[in-house]
């Protein structure tokens, strides 16, 4: 068919290689303009770029994806087309139409509105000639057996044909995991062309953090290494050079990075995955897997932005028309290549899969394939034996191949699973973390509950954060309380600013309206509490970073909700307060085991912020969200409300120091259980000496360094803490179902009282 090409043709095709191969084989020199259908449409009708996206987001506050949908269809939205044209946002190629002499369309389906324009010129439609082959279709039980059959078939072919002449066609993503696994077992090189997002990598994270903070592109780029990902980031940023950096540009760059993928390095000699359109070599071998209903041919649905009814009006192929053309394309390919091996599966996991309708329509013969070849991979054979043993032990099913495999692999470690963590190579681990480590209270708490839990959550980062309504409420309260005591604070403005982009249902709206009143109540009470203190300086949401010298670069990071401090008589006095939306836990009995460290860690951080000697008056939690409470008759309502917001924690037993923070300390009006008699503090008052406070800080320092040493040496054993027969290590652990912990893994400990180890000299 390509012999019909002539000088100065404009060729529309999805496969330029077929033309280049033809010209090379026939040794012709033709002046051709070869384009994909999209390239032709962009040049003929015009197209938009990032300027148009920026314009729509800035003017109409569209989400990035919504703006893209509109721009993908701008040719058919008259009002949008006119607006874009008026603002010079449609890029046109003025001389393109004049340069067209003849248009040749090769094996490409055209929408009617495009065909109408093509037919204004001299034109020619060329379609591949079919040979009326009737290939047999191989039926296999499962997806895994289907992939295994193809792998073995390819191995047999490699004895007589170049690997670069073997292709897998139209591979559905359901097959990716299996094909990687099986081809690795048989040592078959494969170019799978998997998409790997760069979003979520450390480089992108650091880049975006700095860009949002500084709004300076050069500063953000300097935060990351100049590697492959750096180049991808540069490419995205270059698209927005038309304007200065603002919040919209940063938003657009982030959205683009979410859909930017690393290109896999392509092996020179390997099996390649191709589309139907790339089937051009009659001497090559092609494997078509997944010849099942819904997969081949692909089924289109009426779910695009433009409905089928609108598509008909605008001269666009409807989903029904696409389905007909897609079916015909598959029929043409199936009937045109003698070396095409087609397979389909009957089951995928426990789901029944049905053969493609084309098998019956084309009257293709079906061959049932039994996987009983075991001469190519010991790894596969052992896995197959384990599967057959499962069926025998669980369901008493005796497979014909069970005896053969069992006799050849009697050393198979079946039912000998070892759940132990096998230590990673230390150098490999340090390379993985870039020889950098960031620790915080939450990560340290994970480590001391169970070091394997820390590994899963904080090294592999499998603990995905998902904002719930309750976490949103907690963030709202913390945000407002970080601003509430500044001179220019406006409650309503700050409140609305935080919730403006959120959508709530009726129940959540009602809850927020009630909490809004409670939040105003809290602010009033905290202001009253502050009147009892001589510490008049306050820091809110204070982020503290402590660099720690070790074999790797370590930063310990914490954010303290509230620090009250002041200098009185040349002495610095400090108290620290952390807001809690849940149930406060000020128990420090397990500190010696690395647990219950939140408040002690704040003391550790304070010592590093205020380098010189400081007097710590106390460290406390303050519960800021309370359930509805019923009050007894005769009680003072306002006083009972105030008591709900009393601080709960530990105070310094030195009256001179404590009095600077709480002038009412003898019978405190805002610290829970703090009261004195003529003989001193009551026994229930939680007070500590300066020596005990310093010992707590030393213990925290010791526990942090102990954790760092274990982490940098990749020691992540399964060791959940059990204290007095209570398994606290696995409590609230999201990963407790994957470690298969055994009794011998448990770290059994005895409960202690903090007074015991703080008074121990």
Q: Which of 753, 575, 592, 738 is nearest to 659 (CA)?
A: 575
SS3 of 617, please? strand
Give residues with Cβ within 8 angstroms of 683, minimum separation 6: none
The residue count of the chain comes to: 761
Q: Which of 586, 620, 603, 559 is nearest to 697 (CA)?
A: 603
Distance (Å, rounded) from C-alpha 761 to C-alpha 746? Answer: 30
| 653, pLDDT greater than 80 | yes
Q: What is the mean pLDDT of residues 534-560?
A: 93
First-to-last C-alpha distance (Å) of the chain: 95
Q: What is the full DSSP assignment across 208-221?
A: HHHHHHH--HHHHH
**Distances 420 to 423, 450, 719, 742, 760 between C-alpha atoms, Å:** 9, 13, 10, 9, 36
Distance (Å, rounded) from C-alpha 515 to C-alpha 627? Answer: 11
Distance (Å, rounded) from C-alpha 725 to C-alpha 741? Answer: 15
Instruction: Place 583 in a pLDDT band, splitting at 50, 70 and 90.
Output: confident
What is the enclosing helix (H) or strand (E) of 9?
strand 9-12
Q: Domain ranges in the chain?
A: 2-126, 137-194+268-368, 196-262, 378-408, 469-547+561-687
pLDDT at position 425: 93
Quick one: tokens of 43?
A: 């040049």
Cα-based angle 696, 724, 727 (whole degrees, multiple of 5): 90
Distance (Å, rounded) from C-alpha 396 to C-alpha 197? Answer: 45
User: What digits encode the pLDDT tens for the residues 237-293?
Assistant: 999 999 999 999 999 999 999 999 988 788 999 999 999 988 988 899 999 999 999
Q: What is the mean pLDDT of residues 721-734?
A: 92
Distance (Å, rounded) from C-alpha 602 to C-alpha 544? Answer: 10
DSSP assignment letter at 14: S
User: What digits encode the pLDDT tens for the residues 135-160?
Assistant: 999 999 999 999 999 999 999 999 89
Distance (Å, rounded) from C-alpha 13 to C-alpha 34? Answer: 7
pLDDT at position 344: 97
Q: What is the mean pLDDT of residues 650-672?
A: 95
User: What digits encode the pLDDT tens for the residues 386-444?
Assistant: 999 999 999 999 999 999 999 999 989 888 888 899 999 999 999 999 899 999 999 99
pLDDT at position 757: 87
Q: What is the mean pLDDT of residues 308-335?
A: 93
pLDDT at position 608: 84
Provide CATH code, domain 137-194+268-368. 3.40.50.300
Q: Give phi and psi for 443, each to the nearest 5.
A: -70, -40
| 30, pLDDT greater than 70 | yes
* CB-CB neighbours of 416 under 10 Å: 6
User: What digits encode the pLDDT tens for the residues 84-134?
Assistant: 999 999 999 999 999 999 999 998 899 999 999 999 999 999 887 778 899
| pTM exceeds 0.75 | no
Distance (Å, rounded) from C-alpha 281 to C-alpha 272? Answer: 14
**Distances 694 to 177, 449, 555, 652, 684 between C-alpha atoms, Å:** 55, 24, 22, 11, 22
Percent of the chain with pLDDT over 70: 98
Distance (Å, rounded) from C-alpha 127 to C-alpha 130? Answer: 9
pLDDT at position 16: 87
Lowest mean pLDDT among 1-5, 472-476, 738-742: 1-5
């Amino acid at each position: 068919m390509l012999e019909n090409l002539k000088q100065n043709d404009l060729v529309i095709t999805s496969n330029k290689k077929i033309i280049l191969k033809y010209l090379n084989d026939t040794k012709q020199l033709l002046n051709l303009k070869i384009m994909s259908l999209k390239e032709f449409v962009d040049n003929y009708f015009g197209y938009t770029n990032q300027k148009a996206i920026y314009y729509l987001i800035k003017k109409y506050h569209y989400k990035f994806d919504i703006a893209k949908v509109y721009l993908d269809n701008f040719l058919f939205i008259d009002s949008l087309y006119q607006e874009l044209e008026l603002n010079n946002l449609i890029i046109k190629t003025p001389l393109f139409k004049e340069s067209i002499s003849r248009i040749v369309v090769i094996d490409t389906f055209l929408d009617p509105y495009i065909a109408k324009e093509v037919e204004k010129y001299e034109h020619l439609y060329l379609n591949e000639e079919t040979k009326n082959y009737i290939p047999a279709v191989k039926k296999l039980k499962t997806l895994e057996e289907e992939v295994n059959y193809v792998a073995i078939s390819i191995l047999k072919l490699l004895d007589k044909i170049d690997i670069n002449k073997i292709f897998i066609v139209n591979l559905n993503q359901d097959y990716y995991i299996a094909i990687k696994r099986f081809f690795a077992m048989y040592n078959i090189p494969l170019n799978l062309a998997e998409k790997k997002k760069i979003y979520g990598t450390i480089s992108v994270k650091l880049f975006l953090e700095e860009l949002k903070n500084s709004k300076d592109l050069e500063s953000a780029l300097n935060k990351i290494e100049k590697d492959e990902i750096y180049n991808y980031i540069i490419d995205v940023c270059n698209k927005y050079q038309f304007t200065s950096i603002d919040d919209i540009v940063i938003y657009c760059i982030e959205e683009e990075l979410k859909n930017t993928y690393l290109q896999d390095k392509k092996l020179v000699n390997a099996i390649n995955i191709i589309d139907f359109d790339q089937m051009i070599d009659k001497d090559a071998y092609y494997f078509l897997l997944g010849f099942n209903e819904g997969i081949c041919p692909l089924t289109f649905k009426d779910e695009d932005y433009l409905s089928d009814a609108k598509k008909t009006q605008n001269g666009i192929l409807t989903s029904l028309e696409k389905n007909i053309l897609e079916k015909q394309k598959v029929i043409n390919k199936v009937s045109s290549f003698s070396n095409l091996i087609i397979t389909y599966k009957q089951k995928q996991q426990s789901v029944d899969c049905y053969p493609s309708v084309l098998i019956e329509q084309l009257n293709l013969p079906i061959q049932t394939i039994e996987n009983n070849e075991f001469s190519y991979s010991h790894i596969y054979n052992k896995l197959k034996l384990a599967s057959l043993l499962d069926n025998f032990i669980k369901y008493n099913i005796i497979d014909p191949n069970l005896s053969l495999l069992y006799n050849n692999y009697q050393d198979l470690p079946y039912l000998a699973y070892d759940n132990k963590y096998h230590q990673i190579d230390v150098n490999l681990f340090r390379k993985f973390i870039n020889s950098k480590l960031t620790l915080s209270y939450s990560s340290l708490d994970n480590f001391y509950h169970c070091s394997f839990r820390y590994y899963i959550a904080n090294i592999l980062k499998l603990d995905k954060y998902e904002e719930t309504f309750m976490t949103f409420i907690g963030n709202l309260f913390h945000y407002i309380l970080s601003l509430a005591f500044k001179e220019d604070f406006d409650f309503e403005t700050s409140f609305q600013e935080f919730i403006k982009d959120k959508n709530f249902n009726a129940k959540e709206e009602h809850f927020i309206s009630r909490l809004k009143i409670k939040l105003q109540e809290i602010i009033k009470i905290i202001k009253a509490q502050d009147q009892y203190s001589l510490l008049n300086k306050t820091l809110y949401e204070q982020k503290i970073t402590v660099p720690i010298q070790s074999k790797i670069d370590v930063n310990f990071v914490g954010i303290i909700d509230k620090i009250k401090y002041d200098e009185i008589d040349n002495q610095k006095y400090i108290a620290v307060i952390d807001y809690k939306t849940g149930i406060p836990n000020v128990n420090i009995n397990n500190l010696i085991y690395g647990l219950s460290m939140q408040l002690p860690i704040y003391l550790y951080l304070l010592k590093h912020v205020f380098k010189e000697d400081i007097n710590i008056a106390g460290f406390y939690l303050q519960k800021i969200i309370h359930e509805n409470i019923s009050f007894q008759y005769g009680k003072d309502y306002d006083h009972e409300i105030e008591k709900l917001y009393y601080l709960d924690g530990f105070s310094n037993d030195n009256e001179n120091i404590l009095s600077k923070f709480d002038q009412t300390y003898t019978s405190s009006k805002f610290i829970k259980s703090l009261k004195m008699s003529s003989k001193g503090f009551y026994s229930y008052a939680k007070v500590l000496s300066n020596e005990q406070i310093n010992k707590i800080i030393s213990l925290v320092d010791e526990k942090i360094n102990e954790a760092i040493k274990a982490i940098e040496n990749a020691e992540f054993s399964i060791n959940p803490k059990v204290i007095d027969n209570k398994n606290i290590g696995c409590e609230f652990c999201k990963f407790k179902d994957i470690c298969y912990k055994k009794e011998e893994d448990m770290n059994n400990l005895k409960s202690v009282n903090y007074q015991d180890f703080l008074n121990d000299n």
